[in-house]
Homo-oligomer: A and B are copies of this chain.
């Protein structure tokens, strides 16, 4: 019997190319960019591989849905209250750690290296011999030590950084030198040269990095956010940066994305704005996760990376 699989993604063609053939035995793949064809299959596919924003408006029409594999790690689009929860939702966590680590270490190295100042000097043909800083020996605090935080910590240790981790309770990552929990986030922040947030968007993470935590950071410290914009109180961050209470921020995520025109973060000195691209869902990373879960689904086994709708991740 043939199983119908629907793909709804901005990279649908890449997924179809990677998955058609041997990866999904006994399946027929329907690709979301072939829009006329999709409408015919919405009510007939028990399995959907989708970018959350694309599938959300179609949820009511997916009457045969049993399992939805998100191409993203963050699935708040699909766990919001009021949406159906009568299917198994799996996310792509575990696929982004290496990309996030490349982002965080790359941008922190440029901060220490005075990379932006040097880049502007070059455009003026100016030999800028200012002494740069270094990572080695600095202290990185990780707010959230899931698969992403653990990978950032692993690479941080390769550069001989000290690593602190703030978690609810877990202490299982071997790359963290010391853990903090509960009301100890400001105490951890006070010891950090860099504070790196990689939390999902949940009720518990909202504005966890608030005015108190920002004030606890040393004035030479840099905040990095690669999780979700909601973790950081942006108004408090702007206030802290304007007051010189911290030295800079490297931000890939924001409360509103794209970051609105005229927002003060665009032009504050020592703020780096990227565009929610620290860890995109590369089909070559996500397809193997889907193929593995497909095999499990067909065998009646428990899927990997099942989302708890209540917790939101």
Whether A119 and B116, one on each chain, are in contact in the complex, defined by CB atoms closer than 8 angstroms, is yes
Which among B99, B125, B130 is the interface contact of A267 at CB below 8 angstroms? B125
Would you give the shortest CB distance from A48 to chain B, in whole angstroms?
Answer: 23
Copy tally for this chain in the complex stands at: 2
CA distance A273 to B113 in the complex (A): 13
Among B101, B134, B257, B266, contact of A102 (Cβ-Cβ < 8 Å): B134
Q: Is A103 an interface residue (CB 8 A)?
A: yes
Question: Are A276 and B134 interface neighbours, CB within 8 A?
Answer: no
Contact residues in B for A295 (Cβ distance below 8 Å): none
Contact A261 B119 (CB under 8 A): no
Shortest CB distance A43–B (Å): 33
On whether the beta carbons of A105 and B109 are closer than 8 Å, the reply is: yes
Task: Write out, one digit per residue, whether chain A residues 100-141 have a CB within 8 A of any chain B CB (1) or not (0).
Answer: 011101110110110110110010010111111011100000
* A–B Cβ pairs within 8 angstroms, 24 of them: A98-B134, A99-B134, A102-B113, A102-B135, A102-B136, A103-B109, A105-B106, A106-B110, A106-B112, A106-B113, A106-B115, A110-B115, A115-B115, A118-B273, A118-B275, A119-B272, A122-B266, A127-B258, A128-B275, A130-B277, A131-B277, A134-B282, A154-B158, A158-B158
Interface residues of A (CB under 8 A from B): 98-99, 101-103, 105-107, 109-110, 112-113, 115-116, 118-119, 122, 125, 127-132, 134-136, 154-155, 158-160, 257-259, 261-262, 266-267, 272-277, 280, 282
